Structure 1
């Protein structure tokens, strides 16, 4: 009768079977028998019915995690002679009944605008052999997502990332919710989290309260967990999204910015509105943040010289981008990786501008990218710069002229200016290209004496004072006459007459 009552209540075989703990085929058979006017069938006793209290105890003790095969092994030792298939069905029924009374019921979280911001971290792409950290922030009411690329998860980097997130959304919320990381919570005493003093200083500076969720309970901040999963799927290269690897950290930053534009400009399926539109309304409920960011954890300050982008830290020198000349920067030492990190301020808040391996005294850490347009100077490698009209005319011949000038000067050639003027005259007569070739060859072979340039030009066939006749128009005798040398050219009849005489 319970089966029939459950079916009349739900109108579904499967729903009635779940309520009664039997098969939906049993429900159908009972309903068909009642429709045919037959008496309800009496449920047959099963071999496992006597062992159900044991199964219920095991399910209760293991919080519904016991496996059916392990339960069957225990039942066999207790004298059960049924099949493992029956045991699996019985364990499934008991687990279903246990879950009805122990399932965690989730109630939708309805938040007010301007109250909550959640943030979490995700593993980003690998750049230069190091994995980038993705800081993902999620504004609960408007569902606006912020993704910021960080080089590490230390407290200064995290606080700098949060400052940039506040400036992106246009203010700070009342509460900030995150995990129990060491940057926020140093430990728990009787279930009460002990806050990190740096996190307390940060929250007071921005007028917000940093809270942490329950340990091992991601459901308390499921919104940002989903945002992290979505950001990793669109930014991190995998075998499924076919994204190419990033060559620099700046490309990762650009990808994060592009992701924020795309994800916040499309309609959210829960609210039916675009997050960028809802952010404009929620921004009115956010409180303003200080003009200068919280820099207490960024390290010590240093002033960059006005002409040399190098700072000193712990008696060592480190380079910074040339765009920071004359500005203040913050320097700190990363104890885990033994690196020196330099941060600066821009319109979006603090940002890491340089990272060097720890240097030693007398050996500065230099990054060539911090010196754009720099040309290294080598002693003895002089830069050729024409100062007079004669020098300009000579160097205008070509690269060979510059090579000749360097090589001739290095060996102390005499009367160089007269020879340079002669080369200019030859260039006007024979052409700059041929004279440039001759100057280059003269420099390579060390021929800097008077007349050497004319000799080199003559070797190329450019001496106009000499005339060369071709083989077809030559008036000189050939060697054909030498072919008769050693042969008798007198006729035999003439020889007989001579003998008769």
Structure 2
């Protein structure tokens, strides 16, 4: 009776048309049943920004055992991929037959008739480990859903958000430690689909993996350098520091833009150990964190006795050590007789009193003859107070008021 329908009528018509279209164009997938030792997948996830710098998460997933490896990186260049792949395979304990990933420029340089053309360098890396590189169909996430899920889970737990309440990372090493902890936890947890811990399944899958070569694919890591005894390497006549644990070892160096990337080989494979901004000759790049802490970092020397007399003096306490350091720096005379005198006074007045007097003398800079006895007399029977120091507001210089009328004749004397 004049009713032409509502918005609901239109939505129902559109839904019916969509259902009819999907019925004739539905993609039907055969369930993929992974076999042990065949497939490894890797993908990239956006990592957190640390000190204003972008990071990425390398997320690898072994299809049959569900074993996962998450590694943070600072770039996605081919040498970084080679290092991450080597570290992943060595953590797994072998190489599968295929490795599946996206069609990035480091893997696929072009498509001809929808056929991906491989990057020659990634092919060489794959041959080194006995792998065959496969890539997914462009814009088709169904072909690598396992690695997509790994990226999603890693980002959810590792990237600070308002949901997970994870605090921001102050340094890149904190993200490295968090990724290692995440990898350990996720592989030791029972998987929902297999009802097994990935670590247990990996132990079984290792029997189907290919053995790894003894050395990683180092051609993409750069050139080699020998670490000197001062934990530095020389690149283009510039010295760069590396962690002190690498002294006398060989590392690989390469430039990525304006940065020098240093890679070392360890039990887990090729690992990036540090980065430096490109420097120039005469301006070495040294990082304090590459060296162990020193107790005398500020040139403070701790006295160490070399004779019985010195040991007896230093045994008086910290005040004696402070007196020795300050008196030596001031060039005090007859220090050894004064030390013997302090030992003798300790037998009369007690060790604590003499040590307190020596500490006061060190603070006040009093190292002359009989100064120690004077300070002892002042301290005996009194509480320890700070020594009196001359302030900047007073001076021993005589005033000039007497000269204010110099040259002025007395009143009445006009001659």
TM-score tier, shorter chain, comes to 0.7 to 0.9
Equivalent in the alignment of 1:317: 239
- Indicate the structure whose relative CO is greater, using CA pairs within 8 Å and at least 6 residues apart: 2
User: In the alignment, what sits opposite 1:217?
Assistant: 140
How far, CA to CA, are the matches of 2:332 and 2:183 in structure 1? 68
Give the equivalent residue in structure 2 for 1:51.
none
Matching of residues 106-121 of structure 1 within 5 Å: 106-121=29-44
CA 364–376 in structure 1, closer or farther in 2 if over 3 Å, else same: farther
Per the alignment, do residues 296 and 376 of structure 1 end up closer, same or farther by CA in structure 2, a change over 3 Å counting?
Answer: farther
Q: 1:145 to 1:424 in 2, by over 3 A?
A: same
Alignment partner of 1:426 is 2:345: yes
- Gaps of at least 5 residues in structure 1 are 1-43, 48-80, 464-501
- Using the TM superposition, name which of 312-321 and 164-173 deviates more: 164-173
Corresponding residue of 2:315: 396
**Of residues 167, 175, 178 in structure 2, which corresponds to 1:252?**
175
Q: What secondary structure, in the 3-state scheme, does the structure 2 residue paired with 1:148 have?
A: strand
Distance in 2 (alpha carbons) for counterparts of 1:145 and 1:270: 15
Contact 1:172 1:289 in 2 (8 A): yes
TM-score (norm 1): 0.70
Match of 2:272 among 352, 357, 363: 352
Is 1:161–2:84 an aligned residue pair? yes
Unaligned ranges ≥5, structure 2: 383-415
1:210 partner SS: strand
From 334, 357, 360, the equivalent of 1:438 is 357
- Is the CA contact 1:175–1:208 (under 8 Å) kept in the aligned structure 2? yes
| Offset, 1:327 | 0.8
Matched position secondary structure for 1:211 = strand
> Is residue 2:380 matched to residue 1:457?
no
Q: Any conservation in 2 of the 1:430–1:462 contact (CA below 8 Å)?
A: no
Once the two structures are superposed, the pairs formed by residues 303-382 of structure 1 within 5 Å of their partners are 303-305=226-228, 307-335=229-257, 338-374=258-294
Q: RMSD between aligned alpha carbons?
A: 2.7
CA distance in structure 2 between the partners assigned to 1:171 and 1:349 by the alignment: 12
In structure 2, C-alpha distance between the alignment counterparts of 1:175 and 1:104, rounded to whole Å = 25
In structure 2, what is the Cα distance between the partners aligned to 1:371 and 1:383? 21
The reply on whether 1:96 has 2:23 as its aligned counterpart is no
Match in the other structure for 1:280: 203
CA deviation string 1:248-273 (max 9, x = no partner): 44443443344334433444343444
C-alpha distance in 2 between matches for 1:272 and 1:433 = 69
Aligned residues: 382
Query: In structure 1, how many angstroms separate the alpha carbons of the residues matched to 2:65 and 2:364?
Result: 78
Listed one character per residue, the Cα deviations across residues 197-246 of structure 1 (whole Å, up to 9, x for unaligned) are 22011011111111211211111111111122122223333332333444
Query: C-alpha deviations, 1:14-65, integer Å up to 9, x for none?
Result: xxxxxxxxxxxxxxxxxxxxxxxxxxxxxx9x99xxxxxxxxxxxxxxxxxx
The separation in 2 between residues aligned to 1:145 and 1:416, in whole angstroms, is: 68
User: Which residue of 1 is the match for residue 149 of structure 2?
Assistant: 226
Aligned residue for 1:38? Answer: none
Q: Report the structure, 1 or 2, having the larger helix content.
A: 1
* C-alpha displacement of 1:422: 1.1
Task: Provide the C-alpha distance between the structure 2 equivalents of 1:378 and 1:122, rounded to a whole number of angstroms.
Answer: 44
Does the residue aligned with 2:220 lie in a helix, a strand or coil? coil
The aligned residue for residue 191 of structure 1 is 114
| 1:126-205 alignment runs, 5 A limit | 126-205=49-128
SS at match of 1:130: coil
Give SS of 1:400's match.
helix
- What SS does the aligned partner of 2:219 have? coil
Cα shift at 1:312: 0.5
TM-score normalised according to structure 2 size: 0.83
Q: Which residue of structure 2 aligns with residue 78 of structure 1? A: none
| Cα distance change of structure 1 residues 448 and 124 upon mapping to structure 2, 3 Å threshold | same
Is the Cα–Cα contact under 8 Å of residues 395 and 401 in structure 1 kept in the other structure?
yes
Mark the structure with the bigger radius of gyration: 1
- Distance in 2 (CA, whole Å) between partners of 1:268 and 1:409 is 69
Q: What SS is found at the alignment partner of 2:270?
A: strand
In structure 1, what is the Cα distance between the partners aligned to 2:157 and 2:329?
Answer: 61
Q: Secondary structure at the match of 2:147?
A: helix
2-structure distance, mates of 1:446, 1:154:
61
The 3 A distance-change label for structure 1 pair 262 and 373 is: closer
Looking at structure 2, the residues matched to 211 and 83 of structure 1 have their Cα atoms a distance apart, in angstroms, of 51
Deviation of 1:409 after TM superposition, in Å, equals 3.6
Equivalent residue for 1:264?
187
The CA distance in 2 between the partners of 1:364 and 1:169, in whole Å, is: 39
1:270-302 CA-to-partner distances (Å, cap 9, x unmatched) read 344443333333322221110111111111100
